[in-house]
Amino acid sequence: MIERQRIRLLVVAILVAIAVVAVGVFVVDGGTADPDPVLFDDTVSMGLALEDEYGLEDDVRLPRAQVFYSQYEYVVGYYGVEMFVASFREAGHTDRFGHPRTVYVSDYSSVDVELSADGHPTADREPAWTDAESAWFAVGSEATTPSGQTIVPFADRDDATAFVDSHGGSVVAWEQLLDRDVEMDDATVVRDRVDQQHQNADERIEAVSALADRPVSTVVGEDAATVQEAIDSAPENTTVLVPEGTYNETLEVDRSITLRGEDDATIRGDGNGTVITATANRTAAVGLAVAGSGSQRQGDGELPGDEHDGEWDDTFERNYAGSDAAIGLHTANESLIEDVSVDSEVTGVVLRRSENSVVRDVTVDSPERWEDGHAGVLAFHSPTVVENATISDGRDGVYSHRSTGLVVRNSTLEGNRLGVHLMHTSDALLASNRLENQSSTGIYVMTGPERNAIVDNEIRGAEYGLFPDGSDSYVADNLLVDNRVGLRIDATGSRYEGNVVAGNEIGAQVRAMLPTNQVLENDFVENDVHADAGTGPLRVWTHDGTGNYWQGASSITGDRTVDGPYSPTAPVDRQLHRTDGAETLARSPALDAISGLQGTVPGMRTGSVVDLAPTCEPNEPDLLAETPWADRAWSCERIERGPSP
Amino acid sequence: MSDSSPSTGSGRSRAPPTRRRLFEAVVVREVRTVVRARSLLLLAATLTAVVVGITWIGDGFTAGYLPSIVDLLTPLELLVPIVAIAFGYRAILGDQQRGELDVLETYPVSARELVLGVYAGRAIGLAVTIAVALAIAAIAIAVGGDDPVRVYASHSGADSPILFARFLVLTVLFGLAVLAVAVAISAVVSVTRSALGLSVVALVALLVGFDLAIVYGLAEGIVGDADLLYTLAASPLSAYRGLVLETTVIVASGTGPRVASPVASLVGLVIWTVASLAVAVWAVGR
């Protein structure tokens, strides 16, 4: 009996224990305590282009925030508290990251903050971190980051008040701050200004086109024996006319003149250095063939042209812009190179610190082996318009370094290693270029720049078709065909829209860690794999209810949208367009039951892409018609139309 | 159980068995039945395989507890009722068919104690089945998580085993509510075939009927917008789903419209359980 009593007691105890635990798991907070702040360098950060970061003085301490989200396993770092506020207020932000559980901001109460001449906050050391919810924020003051006006956080309200007393603005608390409208130039701003950028480029061309029509003052062979003599004797703002023939000379132009060739006038260098070097503003070279430069790829000595202040990229500048070239413009703003053909030994045209110059109707034939070449057109600190250029066989077709606002359009790039290669170049427009058979990458944007527009390009036969990095860029209406990887998505906060991605081994490959891109109305047709995702949270490629066209994601019901989500990375969905029977398997209730909630807690999922509202038909039928597979882009209404022939 | 007399402590076993001992005997016998039933063991193994399989296919091992909950929720809404019905639909009917009910009726055991005893015994079996399946999945998630990219600082966010424990508890509660329905069916019917038939009817009603009825009510305006949260509690599936979403997924996804009224949903499940058992008691006592 006592034994039985004991068993009873034991059973009751176990039941009570189970009940306590069962109730207990609902009582305790599911989350852990507030995490400690981490090193900012260890966060996945956004809000500052690498170019801007390199350009900062050593004592500049930009305000920063680090955010621990409920669904995103990495700590996200923001340069500028306003950057976080803008992101947080964006539609869909909390869907993708979950809600911010803990936010730390730079605490300027912990240092003696002063503003530099540029308005950047400076201090002798990095400010400590403080919890944003209890911090005070100086808004609308004179403080700036390279991106614009910035918010300065303080743990102590008195410090914030003292700051606004001397630097203007007002003090607000966290709650009020989150309610403020913060304007940031995002990808849609870039989209909306594409036409304007084209127009600006037209104006820049207009501004220099008069250079081609300067009156002829000197004719080579009549007024002077050599081209160089003619250049030296011609008055400024006139044209030196070079009649048909080949001139074995190396030229230096240090005054504002135009060098115009007749018919096939050829300037041939002696195989050393740059053939034509110009260092004056408003210089023009028109209607020439140029050949015979040296073949040294990297310079190391002094560069021609005006002196400039030392900057972080001085070494690059000497190395890259010091390359031998057919034509080198150094500190020659508003210059024009038009109707020129180059038989390049290493680099075709170098533009260094030559703003608002124009390179048009230029042909560059690079050395046969790409290892021997450097760039067809190399723009260094030179926001230039390059149009109607034809560049082949080079290392880089067009290479740009810190040429904010560069425009490359209507150009043809063939057989280079990289077609267009941007380094530290923001606000560029790359439009309507045709890129074929680059051995590595069609358009490669590196080093985290901002607000680039890449539109209407046609890229075929590259290892990587389009490979943009950075943030807040607009990638639209490009035709990406027959590449190993059509579209590589490393850029964040960007909008990828209306691209036709067809016949590639991998249509789109996403490696961006932050799920902040808008990917919509693209057409994925006849790729071996439509999309492939690396580490990072689930990427939801649907924006404002609009998804993409995925060949194979068809529906038997026939509606304007496919009746379920489509995941190009899921085992069955990814086979839909090339394996018979996959569609039947995809409609199994078992798969439905699992995938029904696929878009939930996206931040916690890894390595996958889902489109919650795939479109029924291709979004860009005209662009798709330029591929052989337009008739393979089945509409989801195919059953009603009957089988395709 | 206030009738447990002090005399039971005397050690003399000749005294007639007390009602509590009878209740215990029924419970113990049910547990033995469950353990011996190979088909139920097979069912438990299948459930475990499906749960672990879904966790694997859905990448839950690498993604974490919460994504796994989301992946498992819909499949379990369908599977748990089936398993629960299988556990219970012949519980009392079996006794009746083997004549044990008649034997039991010679003991001073009331219909209420009999039903509660049978239910408790089967409930232990079902709870263990569900808990073991989910616990194995939880262990797999704990061990199987892939390492985050090391160059970045990482944290677990809102994900936590606590959430999975909540999910486990709610799934067991859901299973127990459906088990009560199954026991009621087994008490009401008199032959196996009708037990099977009625069970299928009950399953269809549970799995789609009630939810569709709510959808119809909402579409026709019978269920007002303000009532939906509470009407959901009437369908065991919706009550369960709402509870899981409210106590786990919402923790991570933050703001938005409310997904459930936890109290109403919990009361809904309890009412289903109690009412079903009451029906069973009434049927046995007939």
Q: Judging by DSSP bridges, how do beta strands A114-115 and A121-122 pair with one another?
A: antiparallel
Q: Judge whether B236 lies within some domain.
A: yes
Give the minimum alpha-carbon distance from B71 to chain A in angstroms, rounded to a whole number. 5
Query: How far is CA A297 from each of CA A278, A284, A315, A370, B194, rounded to the nearest angstrom?
Result: 19, 24, 14, 12, 89
Q: Supply the DSSP symbol for A222.
A: T
From the list B154, B158, B160, the residue facing A98 with the nearest CB is B158
Chain A residue with the nearest C-alpha to that of B12: A1
Q: Which residues of B touch A601 (CB under 8 A)?
A: 66-67, 70, 249, 252-253
> DSSP letter at A473?
-
CB contact under 8 A, A98 and B146: no
**Is it the case that residue A452 has pLDDT exceeding 90?**
yes
| Residue B254 pLDDT grade (very low, low, confident, very high; cuts 50, 70, 90) | low
In whole angstroms, give the CA distance from residue A108 to residue A577. 56
What percentage of chain A reaches a pLDDT higher than 90?
Answer: 67
Q: Determine which of A182-196, A611-625, B141-155, B234-248 has the lowest per-residue pLDDT on average.
A: B141-155
Binary contact (A72, B157; C-beta < 8 A): yes
- Judged by CB atoms closer than 8 Å, whether chains meet at A594 and B75 is answered as yes
DSSP three-state, residue A45: strand
Minimal Cβ distance to A1: which of B8, B24, B159: B8
Q: Chain B closest CA to A31's CA: distance in Å?
A: 5
- Test A73 with B156 for CB contact under 8 angstroms: yes
Question: Within a domain: residue A511?
Answer: no
Which chain A residue lies closest to B120 (C-alpha atoms)? A15
pLDDT digits (tens, 9 = 90+) for B55-108: 887 777 777 888 889 889 989 999 999 999 999 888 887 777 777 767 766 777
Element (H, E) at A20: helix A2-27
Mean pLDDT, residues B43-48: 93
Number of domains in chain B: 1
Q: Which residue has the tokens 């024996």?
A: A225
In angstroms, the CA A146 to CA A282 distance is 31
What pLDDT is attached to residue A482?
97
User: What is the domain count for chain A?
Assistant: 1
φ/ψ (deg, to 5) at A328: -120, 120
| CA separation for the pair A502, A326 (Å, rounded) | 38
Task: Name chain A contacts of B159, Cβ cutoff 8 Å.
Answer: 604
Residue B88 lies in a domain: yes
CB B176 within 8 A of CB B82: no
Mean pLDDT of A519-531: 96
User: Does the distance separating the beta carbons of A600 and B63 come in below 8 Å?
Assistant: no
pLDDT of residue A538: 84
Confidence band (pLDDT; 50, 70, 90) for B8? very low
Average pLDDT along chain B = 84
Q: Which residues of A touch B158 (CB under 8 A)?
A: 30-31, 70-71, 98, 101
Please tell me which residue of chain A has the smallest CA distance to B151. Answer: A42
Confirm whether A398 is domain-assigned.
no
For residue B256, give its domain range: 18-145+157-192+201-285
- Per cent of chain B over pLDDT 90 is 40
Chain A residues inside the 8 Å CB shell of B154: 73-75
Q: Is the pLDDT of residue B7 over 70?
A: no
The structure tokens listed for B272 are: 């289903």
**Tokens 């085993």 belong to residue:** B161
Exposure letters A296-325 (e unless 16+ CB within 10 A, then b): bbebeeebbbeeeeeeebeebbeebbbbbb
For residue A96, is pLDDT > 90? no
Helix (H) or strand (E) holding A217: strand A216-219
The span from the CA of A488 to the CA of A443, in Å, is: 10
In angstroms, the separation between the Cα of residue B190 and the nearest Cα of chain A is 33
**Partners of A284 in beta bridges:** A258, A336
In a domain, B7, yes or no: no
Q: Is residue B6 part of a domain?
A: no
Residue A108 is assigned to a structural domain of this protein: yes
Chain A CB contacts of B63 under 8 Å are: 604-606
CB contact under 8 A, A75 and B11: no
Model pLDDT, residue B13: 45
Mean pLDDT of the region B137-164: 82
B4 lies in a domain? no
Name the token pair of A570: 């899921």
Nearest to B166 among A25, A38, A535 (CB): A25
Question: Which residue of A lies nearest to B248 if distances are taken between CA atoms?
Answer: A30
Whether A344 is covered by a domain: the verdict is: no
Section A561-587 average pLDDT: 81
Which of A594, A595, A598, A609 is the best substitution to test chain B (most B C-beta atoms within 10 A)?
A594
A543-547: which pairs have CB atoms within 8 A and are 24 or more residues apart? A543/A92, A543/A495, A543/A518, A543/A519, A544/A91, A544/A520, A545/A613, A546/A520, A546/A521, A546/A613, A546/A615, A547/A520, A547/A521, A547/A611, A547/A612, A547/A613, A547/A614, A547/A615
Rounded to a whole number, what is the largest CA-CA distance in chain A? 131
Residue A506 has pLDDT above 80, yes or no: yes
Residue A255: inside a domain, yes or no? no
C-alpha A486/C-alpha A506 separation (Å) is 6
Instruction: Check pLDDT > 70 for residue A563.
Output: no
Lowest mean pLDDT among A392-396, A496-500, A534-538, B210-214: A534-538
Cβ(A137)–Cβ(A146) under 8 Å?
no
Task: Quote the pLDDT of residue A606.
Answer: 76
What DSSP letter does each residue of A46-87 carry, written as one string? ES--HHHHHTS-TTB---EEEEEESS-SBPEEEESHHHHHHH
Q: Do the domain assignments include residue B1?
A: no
Arithmetic mean of pLDDT, A115-128: 93
Q: Which of A70, A535, A597 sits opposite B157 (nearest CB)?
A: A70
CA pair distance A296, A300, nearest whole angstrom: 10
Q: Is the pLDDT of residue A424 over 80?
A: yes
Q: How far is B189 from chain A (nearest CA, A)?
A: 32
Distance between CA atoms of A515 and A534, rounded to whole angstroms? 12
pLDDT-derived band of residue B4, with 50, 70 and 90 as boundaries? very low
∠ CA(A524), CA(A528), CA(A533), 5° rounding?
75
ipTM of the complex: 0.80
Mutation pick from B28, B146, B159 vs chain A, by most beta carbons of A within 10 Å, is: B159
B91-98 and B161-188 helices, crossing angle to 10°: 40
CB atoms B74 and A94 under 8 Å: no
What is the CB neighbour count within 10 angstroms for residue A161?
14
Task: For residue A441, give every residue at least 6 positions away whose Cβ sits within 8 Å of its Cβ, in sequence order, or none.
Answer: A417, A418, A419, A421, A462, A463, A464, A465, A467
Cβ of A99 and B253 within 8 Å?
A: yes
User: What is the extent of the structural domain holding A168?
Assistant: 40-184
DSSP state of B13: -
- A25 CB neighbours in chain B (<8 A) are 162, 165-166, 169
Q: State CA B90 to chain mean position distance.
A: 16
Per-residue pLDDT band at A570 (split at 50, 70, 90): confident
What is the C-alpha separation between B174 and B179, in angstroms, rounded? Answer: 9
Nearest to A73 among B73, B155, B248 (CB): B155
Tell me which residue of A99, A93, A92, A45 sits closest to A71, measured CA to CA: A99
Indicate the residue type of A111.
V
Distance from the Cα of A596 to chain B's closest Cα (Å) equals 8
Q: Is the pLDDT of residue A580 over 90?
A: no
Q: Assess contact for A136 and A171: CB atoms under 8 A.
A: yes
Cα(A643)–Cα(A620) distance, rounded to whole angstroms? 22
CB A493 within 8 A of CB A474: no
Element (H, E) at B20: helix B19-36
Site from B54, B132, B162, B208 to mutate, A interface, most A CB atoms within 10 angstroms:
B162
Most B CBs within 10 Å: which of A9, A95, A96, A601, as the mutation test of the B interface? A601
At residue B21, does pLDDT exceed 50? yes
Task: Choose the weakest-confidence range: A3-7, A72-76, A300-304, B252-256.
Answer: B252-256
**Scanning every residue of chain B, which has its alpha carbon at the shortest distance from the alpha carbon of A45?**
B152
Residue B136 pLDDT class (50, 70, 90 cuts): very high
| Cβ pair A374, A391 in contact under 8 A | no
pLDDT at position A31 is 56
Q: Answer yes or no: is B152 within a domain.
A: no
Mean pLDDT calculated for residue range A596-623: 82
Nearest CA in chain B to A535: B149
Structural domain contains residue A349: no
Whose CA is closest to A471, among A55, A50, A40? A50
Residue A525 has which token pair? 């047709």
**Residue type for position A219:** V
Find which of A12, A25, A28, A68 to mutate to test the B interface (most B CBs within 10 Å of its CB).
Answer: A25
pLDDT tens readout for residues A187-212: 999 999 999 999 999 999 999 999 99
Q: How far is A297 from chain B (nearest CA, A)?
A: 35
Q: Which of A39, A67, A73, A178 to mutate to test the interface with B (most CBs of B within 10 A)?
A: A73
Q: How many CB pairs under 8 A join A and B?
A: 128
Q: Are the C-beta atoms of residues A385 and A407 closer than 8 Å to each other?
A: yes
Give a yes or no: residue B241 inside a domain: yes
Tell me what pLDDT residue A265 has: 95
- Average pLDDT of span A300-311: 83
What would you report as the CA-atom Rg of chain A, rounded to the nearest whole angstrom? 30
Contact (CB, 8 A) for A427 and A49: no
SS3 per residue for A364-421? EECCCCHHHCCEEEEEECCCEEEECCEEECCCEEEEEECCCCCEEECCEEECCCEEEE
Residue with tokens 């039985």: A4
Beta-carbon separation of B253 and A38 below 8 A: no
State whether A32 and B252 contact (CB < 8 Å).
Answer: no
Mean pLDDT of A438-465: 96
**Strand A64-69 to strand A76-79: parallel, antiparallel, or no bridges (unpaired)?**
antiparallel
Which amino acid is present at A572?
V
A79-83, A243-247, A297-301 — which is least confidently predicted? A297-301
Inter-chain residue contact A43 with B58, CB threshold 8 Å: no
